[in-house]
Structures are given as structure tokens and as C-alpha cells.
Amino acid sequence: MAKTETTTPDAQPTTAAVPLTPIAALAPAIGWLIPGAGHIIQKRWIRGLLLMAAIVGMFAFGVALQGKVYKPNTGDLLDILGFVGDLGTGVVYFLARIFEWGGTSITAANADYGTKFIVVAGLLNIMAAVDAYHIAIGKKP
């Protein structure tokens, strides 16, 4: 009986494993803690500074508009998600909690805008931290 050779292209891995280097672990962590710093430590100065200005600026405007800074909570789902979003800004969030920046309740339209600014600043910072990781693993120049 003749031996038949079978090939299974589907069995091959589609993505190569990414080695976990110190910078690949450090860049997103630093980038989360200090907005833009994940890029700055990889010598992407302009990108890092622009990200920092945009994210910290957005947070600052949110606070100035008397937006609510969410605390850890187990209440309404939207409040929990608000806290997760706020936490995305890293050290800026902790400073806001320490110095009690922002409003405690949303009583006016401006405060509602401010609350959204603060939450979105956190979400944008998470995007920036993921981008810093992609640079660290060489996926992006």
C-alpha cells in the first residue's frame, strides 16, 4: 500500500508567540499609570507628550466642569463602569481622589459633560497603553 502524505495547513499556528520582554511588560504598565509615559520611555517623545496633553487635558477639563469622579462601588452597573473608566487614567485618578477634585453628584449639564470627559480620558489612556505595548513588541514602529 502506497503511503499518502497528508498536509494539514490549518494545524499550523497563525500567529507567532510574542516573547515577554521587560519593556513589553513595563511600557503598558507605566503608560497606564502616567498617561503618555509608555511612549516616552520608548523614546517616542512627541507621541508621548501629545498623548499626555490630550488625556490629562481631557481629565482636567472634566474636573473643571465639576464632573463626578467615581469611587469604587457595588451599586448601579453604570456607576461600576464609570469607576473602571476613571481608573484608566492611572495616577491622575488617584490624585483626583486624594485632593477630592471634581463634583460628587451630577446636578447640571456641564457636570454631566465633565463626567463623560473624565471617563473617556481613562478609556483613551487604556488605548494609549495598548499602543505602547504594540510598540514594545515591535508590532508598530
Q: Which residues bind other proteins (CB under 8 A)?
A: 47, 50-51, 53-55, 57-58, 61, 63-66, 101, 103, 109-110, 113, 116-117, 120-121, 124, 127-128, 130-131, 140-141
Cβ closer to other proteins: 83 or 118? 118
Query: What is the nearest approach in angstroms of other proteins to the Cβ of residue 60?
Result: 9
| Cell representation of residue 23 | 519593556
| Cell representation of residue 95 | 490624585
Query: What is the nearest approach in angstroms of other proteins to the Cβ of residue 52?
Result: 10
Cβ closer to other proteins: 50 or 137? 50
3-class SS letters over 89-127:
CCHHHHHHHHCCCCECCCCCHHHHHHHHHHHHHHHHHHH
Assign 51 to helix, strand or coil.
helix
Cβ closer to other proteins: 5 or 42? 42
